[in-house]
Structure 1
Amino acid sequence: MFIRKAEARDEDAIWAILEPVYRAGETYCIDRDISAEDALADWFAQPFTVFVAEADGTVLGTSHVGRNRPGGASHVANASFATAPEARGRGVASRLVAHAKDWARAQGFRAMQFNFVVASNADAIHSWQKAGFAVVGRLPGAFLHPRLGYVDALVMYHDLMKDESDDA
């Protein structure tokens, strides 16, 4: 598996990954009936750079990484990730998050923040904590889950400079 910058030819594969996630409405603050065109426009929107994880010519997952906020917070990156259902459990998400951290650090970002991790998304929370992210905030009842009702959202943060000093 390798990770590369996404190209226009990847849009169908990316939509095939995003569509079931968005339609389920359990993890992203995206309208469940969003069109492919609008979803891809959002995923590829500035200031984000889109990547795909690929093996044997098949896109297994995607990420987008970029600045979280401008101005005085422009040193903090943000990222989102999605894995193809058939690729889950194969380390795609962990490879994508490691790549996102390395890419962000190389771009000069000092930290990475996930603004809105749905608290019922235990797999993602576990993965992000394994990657060094800490829960630094909880937004009570901030997400309307289609099956569970109102659930909390978490803010997760990771100091990318800590990774760099740990590797030295």
Structure 2
Amino acid sequence: MRIRAADDDRDWPQIFPFFSRIVEDGETYAYPDGMTADTARSLWMEPPPGQTVVAVRGDQVVGSAKMGPNRPGRGAHVATASFMVDAAHQGTGVGRALGSYAVEWARAAGYHGMQFNAVVETNSVAVRLWLSLGFEILATVPEAFDHPRFGLVGLHVMYQKF
């Protein structure tokens, strides 16, 4: 598996199907249901100074991440990132590879840390992964996410200082 910068024309057609399924499942992202490919693309394909990357096995895109400044202006010294892995490739190290890449990218770009604003507390796989990569849970906003199976659950704010 390799991670490389995403090419909008070549990679988006492979990202959008798993992006759509993950959003429609409603368990990990607060994006609206029923987005068109163009609307989703504008949310996922990160412009500079950020970037979007893909994890590729052979010619197949198996996951993607976007990263960049968490906030503009006076908050731009802290990075953020979002991750999606095709369900057919979950549990195979794609998320860890993308997470490690994002952390190293942010360090190399001179960010002072990385903040995840909204990690759904019931997403135990992601929470364990981020903790193992050096993040800590700073706070949990109670009942901030409407989960389709569990109802109102918390969103963790997670952070790693560089």
Common fold by TM > 0.5: yes
Query: What residue in structure 2 maps to residue 31 of structure 1?
Result: 32
- C-alpha deviations, 1:93-148, integer Å up to 9, x for none? 00001000111111111100000011111111011111111000110100111221
What's 2:124 paired with? Answer: 122
Q: 2:70 aligns with which of 64, 68, 81?
A: 68
SS of aligned partner of 2:141 = strand
After superposition, where does 1:98-109 map in structure 2 within 5 Å?
Answer: 98-109=100-111
- 2:93 aligns with 91
1:164 alignment partner in structure 2:
none
The TM-score normalised by the length of structure 1 is 0.92
Give unpaired runs (5+ residues) of structure 1. 161-168
State the distance in 2 between where 1:17 and 1:109 align.
29
Partner of 1:15: 16
Give 1:45 shift.
4.0
1:32: Cα distance to partner? 1.7
2:71 is paired with a residue whose SS is coil
Q: What residue in structure 2 maps to residue 111 of structure 1?
A: 113
User: 1:6-38 deviations in whole A, cap 9, x for unaligned?
Assistant: 002100111022111001111111012222211
Within 2, Cα distance between the matches of 1:46 and 1:78? 14
Say if 1:137 and 1:156, in contact at 8 Å, map to a contact too: yes
User: TM-score if structure 2 supplies the norm length?
Assistant: 0.95
Match of 2:79 among 77, 80, 83: 77
Contact 1:24–1:32 under 8 Å retained in 2 = no
Distance 1:62 1:101 in 2: 14
Correspondence for 1:42: 43
% identity of equivalent residues: 39
State the distance in 1 between where 2:84 and 2:12 align: 14
Structure 2: gaps spanning 5 or more residues: none
Root-mean-square deviation (CA, aligned residues, Å) is: 1.1
Q: 150, 158, 161: which one pairs with 1:159?
A: 161
The worse-fitting range, judged by mean Cα deviation, of 150-159 and 69-78 is 69-78
Q: Does 1:3 align with 2:3?
A: yes
SS in 2 for 1:3: strand
